[in-house]
Structure 1
């Protein structure tokens, strides 16, 4: 597993959040296996922390994509929709999923707490 970036906030559902940008962790991508399809929320959709807002499908399973914070989707990453494998290759940079205008942030984990969770 790759290093856990110290500048991100994390959920217990293995999503990360930074300045409204949402993605999944390398731990989640590795656990899922080869990701073949991603369903992202629509621009303008309201999302609620802890509530599924999309799906990630791999050769192993289908998993819910859970919003890490309350807000409204302002942008989605078209590269991930076209190339879902980016989540396996680069989950913290090119594989970001969507951006929200954050209106409320739940109890997120810092990098060390997330490392303890997955450790």
Structure 2
């Protein structure tokens, strides 16, 4: 199941793991991504907090936590190849995987069909 936030993060949910990144639209608006500040594996995060920052040739944007939980994996490929976000934001360009703790927070996310 894929869901979105109003701030253009996407969430793909499998079991109790949420794969998080930015939407293709957000990646397009950012322009060429030059750096991704990845959070630490094991960090506890709360919905709405800043997850990380993505820098592009145009600007730097904060990415927000869509679901509370613990970061269980980060996409280390983004350290050397941040442009993966531009090339394939909603697949290979994922940022983190979160083991989420509150199932009810999923209800606040938007469906794919919902225009942002």
TM-score by length of 1: 0.87
Structure 1 residue 45: deviation in Å? 0.6
What is the CA RMSD across the aligned residues, in angstroms?
A: 1.0
Structure 1 residue 100: deviation in Å? 0.6
How far apart, in 2, do the equivalents of 1:71 and 1:18 lie? Answer: 15
How many equivalent residue pairs? 109
1:42 equivalenced with 2:40 (yes/no): yes
How far apart, in 2, do the equivalents of 1:40 and 1:46 lie? Answer: 14
Partner of 2:4: 10
Alignment of 1:1-119 (within 5 A): 7-19=1-13, 20-104=18-102, 105-106=105-106, 107-113=108-114, 116-117=115-116
TM-score by length of 2: 0.89
Q: Deviations over 1:58-85 (max 9, x none)?
A: 0000000111110100000111121000
Structure 1 residue 11: deviation in Å? 0.3
Structure with the bigger percentage of strand: 2
Structure 1 residue 50: deviation in Å? 1.4
Q: Deviations over 1:20-66 (max 9, x none)?
A: 11011011101100000001210011111111121000000000011
Can you give the 5+ residue segments of structure 1 that lack an aligned partner in the other structure? Answer: 1-6
Can you give the 5+ residue segments of structure 2 that lack an aligned partner in the other structure? Answer: none
Please identify runs of 4+ aligned residues in structure 1 that moved more than 6 A.
Answer: none
